[in-house]
Amino acid sequence: MAITTQQLIQWKQQGRSIVALTAWDYAIAQLLDAAGVDLILVGDSMAVVLGYETTLPITLEEMLFHAKSVRRGVKRALIVVDLPFLTYQESFQQAMHSAGLILKETGAQAVKLEGGYPAMVETIARLVQAGIPVMGHVGLTPQSVHQIGLRQQGKTQEAAERILNEAIALEQAGVFSIVLEHIPADLANLVTQKLSVPTIGIGAGPHCDGQILVTSDVLGLSEKHPPFVKVYTNLRETITKAVQDYTVEVRERKFP
């Protein structure tokens, strides 16, 4: 019943689209899992619900704490946890240590890390050889915000070729899936055709093997969101209304 990395690869072959969202605690994870989401990412984008401006300050300890609470809420979905900024780039030993803690302490099945060729290929190969399933992430990599900003990536012929080659190198290194973030739809389509592992798109058009968004954006809980998001409900409005109603009723002694 629990979804495996092999299941995702099989779904690509069958053309069944993979549904992914992020989660940061038990309550959210339990709702997503019960609603049938296939893959739950404990993303470093939880920075938004913790009040950080970027994903850079998130620590491994914070990811472990939140991933454990997500794990308690999930029966079916595959749980993937982001390796935060500077917990894997220093050396493959550092990456192994960080990824090992995530699998051992949280019960998540896989880790995700940002970057491609040449920076991350050797690290990913070593993790995979040690038995740790790894998800790749190319295109817009938000941990590099101070170098590349938050703009769409892969817009020139040269940049597009670089992203395609990175994705191919990551597949060869053994990733079970790759996130394609904020790249043109035709480039995401090409990458998706060339790879045998599933691509999960965010702001990467409709041709990926699956889609992911940040759950606080989808629910209208984030104060702002990227241009490629579809907001399915407005929780900020719903919560504000409920809290205002409660406030009035307490002040006017109507409740209790």
Chain residues binding ligand MHF by CB under 6 A are 45, 48, 55, 140, 142, 149-152, 182, 214, 216-217, 222, 225-227
The CB-of-120 to ligand MHF minimum distance in angstroms stands at 18
* Residues 229/213, Cβ–Cβ less than 8 Å: yes
Q: Residues 101-114, buried b or exposed e (16+ Cβ, 10 A)? A: bbbeebebbbbbbb
For residues 198 and 137, give the distance between their C-alpha atoms in angstroms, rounded to a whole number.
12
The CB-of-199 to ligand KIV minimum distance in angstroms stands at 12
The CB-of-10 to Mg ion minimum distance in angstroms stands at 25
Instruction: Tell me: does residue 33 bind ligand KIV (CB under 6 A).
Output: no
Any binding-site annotation on 90?
no
- Interface residues for ligand KIV in 141-180 (CB under 6 A)? 179
Any binding-site annotation on 114?
yes
Q: How many residues bind Mg ion (CB under 5 A)?
A: 3
By a kind-dependent CB cut-off of 5 to 8 A, residue 22 interacts, out of ligand KIV, Mg ion, ligand MHF, none, with ligand KIV
Instruction: Tell me: does residue 25 bind ligand KIV (CB under 6 A).
Output: no
The CB-of-82 to ligand KIV minimum distance in angstroms stands at 5
Any binding-site annotation on 217?
no
What are the distances in angstroms from CA 207 to CA 25, 37, 191, 204, 210? 30, 19, 10, 8, 8
Token pair recorded at residue 213: 């968004």
Q: What is the dihedral of CA 100, 96, 45, 185, to 10 degrees?
A: -120
* Region for 232 from its dihedrals, namely left if φ exceeds 0, alpha if ψ lies in -120 to 50, beta otherwise: alpha
By a kind-dependent CB cut-off of 5 to 8 A, residue 212 interacts, out of Mg ion, ligand KIV, ligand MHF, none, with ligand KIV
Cα separation of the two ends of the chain? 45
For residues 222 and 51, give the distance between their C-alpha atoms in angstroms, rounded to a whole number.
10
Q: Look up 181 and say whether it is catalytic.
A: yes
* Residues 177/134, Cβ–Cβ less than 8 Å: no
Q: Which of 53, 62, 90, 181 is catalytic?
A: 181
Nearer to Mg ion, 67 or 190 (CB): 67
Instruction: Tell me: does residue 82 bind ligand KIV (CB under 6 A).
Output: yes
Q: Could you tell me which residues are annotated as the binding site for 3-methyl-2-oxobutanoate?
A: 44-45, 82, 112
Active-site annotation, residues: 181
The site for ligand KIV (CB under 6 A) is made up of: 22, 41, 43-45, 82, 179, 181, 202, 212, 214
